[in-house]
Amino acid sequence: MDLLPQLLIAGVVIGSIYALAALGFVLIYKSSRVINFAHGQIIATGAFIAFALTQSGMNFWLAGLLAMVATFLLGMLIERVFLRRMVGEPIISVIMVTIGLSSVIEGLIHLTPYGAGSFSFTTPAVLAGDGLSVLGTQLSRTQIAGVLAALGLLAGFTYFFNKSTLGITMRAVADDQMAAMSVGTSVERVFALAWAAAGLSAAAAGVILGLMSGLTLGGLAGIGLKVFPVVILGGLDSVVGAIVGGMLIGVLENLSAGYLDGLVPGGGTREVFPFIILIAVLLLRPYGLFGTKEIERV
């Protein structure tokens, strides 16, 4: 058993989920300059909706799809009700609204039976068989499917942004809202769409994560914090950055867990290492690997 390839592969598996979570975050930031602290809670909402549906006897795939539709609508609703009023307000207000939102969603989840416990999906038959071995590491079918699904969704979103009219419209709004408005683009519609798409990708991330490592409110919502190192490393407004950053953070935190845990009393460097990277990136290259250099030095 070699440690290094094992760590690398485990890092890619978790990294693809980080990438998917970061994608939703970047979508919102890119179009509307809103930092969404509630993203982890939206991920949890999607995962629990899917779980509740499978509990009532629904097919896993259908449940996942319905959960994605539900968070799509939820994202749109959040934008319409709360964020639309915050246009032009100071950044601290916008940040605090999403923090308040995360608290509200968490409270609502606690009102359902899923708030406190820990649950797991019944693995669908297709994913239950033997996995395959990569570089001497056993990967379960669930993990492979998770990575493939995440990569597929990421590729789909990238294609959408680069080729479809709607995607190009969203990029136009992200680039210059005034100019986009003056050529007749509905900026409001684009904001709503960005939130909806973020909700969609959040549910996907939640379902994949739930399938791989079980469902707990803390675990799912915690991804919302992991998103910050990812997007800062990749660049806040870059879709490619979200993907690369997600993979990098996933691999790096696994490497730190593998090689540094022994040196620290109590171990658990996995939780803190991404944030140390975050601070280093902020100091050396605040716009990240692929972000726009928009920071003014004071």
Partner 1 sequence: MPASRFTQTGNYRVRYQQDQTIFATYAEQASLIVGVLLLLALPLLIPKTMLRDVDMIMIFAVAVLGLNVTTGYTGLINIGQAAFMGVGAYATALAATRLNLPFFLAIPLGGLAGALVGTFVGLPSLRLKYLYLAVATLAFQIIFEWTVGHSPLLAQGGAISMPTVQIFGIRDTFLNHNMFWYYIILPVLVAMALLWRNVLRTRHGRSMIAVRDNDRAAAAMGINPGTAKLTAFMIGSFYAGIAGGLFAYFQKAVVIEDYGLHTSVQLLAMAIVGGLGSLPGSFLGPIFIVALDRFMGSASSWLGEKDIFPQGIDVATAMRPLAFGLAIMLFLMFEPRGLANWWRLVRMYFKKWPYKF
Closest CA to 223 of 3, 25, 9, 4: 25
Q: How far is the CB of 123 from partner 1 (least distance, A)?
A: 26
Q: How far is the CB of 112 from partner 1 (least distance, A)?
A: 8
Q: Judged by CB, which is closer to partner 1: 103, or 120? A: 103
Q: Judged by CB, which is closer to partner 1: 3, or 279? A: 279
Q: How far is the CB of 41 from partner 1 (least distance, A)?
A: 10
Closest CA to 27 of 213, 220, 241: 241
Q: Judged by CB, which is closer to partner 1: 63, or 105? A: 105
Q: How far apart are CA 29 and CA 291, in angstroms?
A: 12
- Whether 187 contacts 180, CB under 8 Å: yes
- Whether 38 contacts 245, CB under 8 Å: no
Q: Judged by CB, which is closer to partner 1: 132, or 276? A: 276
Binding site for partner 1 (CB under 8 A): 35, 82, 85-86, 89, 91-93, 95-97, 99-108, 110-113, 115-116, 225, 228-229, 232, 264-266, 268, 271-272, 275-276, 278-279, 282-283, 286, 295-298
Structure token digits, residue 255: 């490497």
DSSP-derived secondary structure letter, 83: I
Torsion of CA 215, 221, 223, 229, to 10 degrees: -170
Q: Is 92 helix (H, G, I), strand (E, B) or coil?
A: helix
Q: How far apart are CA 14 and CA 142, in angstroms?
A: 12
Q: Give 135: exposed, middle or buried? Use CB within 10 Å, 0-12, 13-18, 19+.
A: exposed
Q: Judged by CB, which is closer to partner 1: 65, or 95? A: 95
Q: Judged by CB, which is closer to partner 1: 69, or 99? A: 99
Q: How far is the CB of 265 from partner 1 (least distance, A)?
A: 6
Q: How far is the CB of 168 from partner 1 (least distance, A)?
A: 26
Q: Judged by CB, which is closer to partner 1: 57, or 266? A: 266
Q: How far is the CB of 105 from partner 1 (least distance, A)?
A: 8
DSSP-derived secondary structure letter, 115: S
Q: How far is the CB of 184 from partner 1 (least distance, A)?
A: 29
Q: How far apart are CA 231 and CA 88, in angstroms?
A: 23
